[in-house]
Structure 1
Amino acid sequence: MFSLSVVCLLALMLVTSSMLISADVVNSTSEFEYVVITCTDSDLHLKCDTGVILATSATYGRQNDSCRHTQPQNEIYPECKDSPKFFYLCNGLAECVLTRDQLESFDPCLLSFNYYNITHVCIPTQRSVTCEGDEKDFGCEQGVIAIIDANYGRTDQTTCSKPKRKPNRHQNTNCLAPESLSTVSDSCEGAKSCTVTASNEMFDDPCVGTRKYLNISYYCTQES
């Protein structure tokens, strides 16, 4: 049987942890919502074990006694509230760290000791692969496309491979077209669906003689 002191300690630990981060089911797509509170003297750290970050809201100010400080009460400004403009910088990343110095550059209340309250979800990423010479459609059943990464080239020996015909065309796995991301983003970012063509005419030829493919990583987000 637990002693009264142990029970009280466990209860305190649960209350403290719930103030810092909580997770609740948002909808039937298995997305989870996380609320992260970061004090102004700390780095902001967001992370998704699976999927990528999509920040849904952010506030700055003080609404409770989170991030208590030795600052005199008359130097704390609870009326200083703002919606930070930086939170979108983490969208599309599996892990994101904004340092204390970076956060300070966005601070609208430099004289007060407040905290950031960030709400984000971890959403699944999707992949579209188009072999060289082919055309492919991809898109979102709900929301619009947000491009994470794209490359026209080859980074493995198995994708879009025909080893029995010309095995030497799959050996170069360091084939990267530098303008891939910008080209795909210009065409597909914010669209509900997009048609792409994997061709040297579209991306130039980053590695002559290698059989290439267009690999796109993206997620679906709400239309802004």
Structure 2
Amino acid sequence: MSNQSLCADHVVACELSTAELSCDSGQTILLIGAFYGRADRTTCIYGRPDGQFNNINCFTRTANRIVAERCNGKKRCSVYAMNSVFQDPCSRTTYKYIQTTYTCLPARESCHSVKYCNTASMCVSVMSNQSLCADHVTIALIGAFYGRADRTTCIQGVPDGQFNNITCSTPTANQVVTERCNGKSRCSVYAVNSVFQDACYGTTKYLELAYSCECKFWKQTVFFFPTMWI
């Protein structure tokens, strides 16, 4: 296995249909990218009126998170290409589709998820326990979040009023962590406002990220979409 090139699978499903992601026995899904909306005038146009694919610059910002939550770590999963799942990023007159790119990892190599509190130093090491790729392993960010989304994370010793806002996040988290960590064997990112900008003044925030350990040659076979866990 360590001498083989692992390719990514690319799945497209038109609106109101289902995207089916699956892996062989002993493997689990790792999402690389998901897109729901419309980015061209060639995908999913058969039998549709011309006016339903004029808008080619609309997509939802939740696609990566939703598909990752439903599929990562599973052998197979189904995702419906519907506005009720992703919200309507365009308009009712635009016919949309979902695109997903994923790869299959041995079950023991499924993604890692870590959280770090505001002001804490975050260090990620991915050098150990990587029999699949031996010494050719690098960090591949799946998603990063800086802000607050609950009242249970990083609250020890924090005054009650500093974790009431649970709907704040910075839009730069993915970009910042990607630039500092992707393609490296280890990296450090500080969970501080000076790095990510203050997403919610007066609220104690935390950094949460999910990442996988990938072979360097995977980058030659995957597709990337505009959202990439925005």
TM-score (norm 2): 0.49
- Is 1:221 matched up with 2:214? yes
1:52 deviation in Å? 3.5
The residue identity in structure 1 corresponding to 2:165 is N
Q: 1:211 maps to what in 2?
A: 204
| AA matched with 1:130 | Y
Corresponding position of 1:149:
143
Q: Is the 8 A contact 2:30 2:111 kept in 1?
A: no
Q: Which residue of 1 aligns with 2:156?
A: 162
Query: Which residue identity lines up with residue 147 of structure 2 in the other structure?
Result: G
Q: Give the aligned residue type for 1:146.
A: A
Across the two proteins, how many residue pairs are aligned to each other? 138
Which residue number corresponds to residue 190 of structure 1?
183
Counterpart code for 2:154: C
User: Structure 1: 5+ residue runs without aligned partners?
Assistant: 1-25, 28-32, 56-88, 103-117
Q: Which residue of 1 aligns with 2:172?
A: 179
Q: What are the equivalent positions in structure 2 for 1:85-104 lying under 5 Å apart?
A: 94=72
Superposition misfits of 4+ residues, deviation over 6 angstroms: 96-99
Task: Name structure 2 gaps, 5 residues minimum.
Answer: 12-16, 33-63, 82-95, 131-136, 218-230
**What do residues 170-205 of structure 1 show as CA deviations (whole Å, max 9, x unaligned)?**
111111111101111111111110111011100110
Aligned CA-pair RMSD: 4.0
TM-score by length of 1: 0.50
Give the distance between the partners of 1:177 and 1:219, measured in 2 at CA: 22
User: What is the CA–CA distance in structure 1 between the aligned matches of 2:103 and 2:175, rounded to whole Å?
Assistant: 29
Cα gap change, 1:54/1:132 in structure 2, threshold over 3 Å: closer, same or farther? closer
In structure 1, the residue matched to 2:114 is 128
Q: 1:43 to 1:209 in 2, by over 3 A?
A: closer
Instruction: Show the counterpart of 2:125.
Output: 139
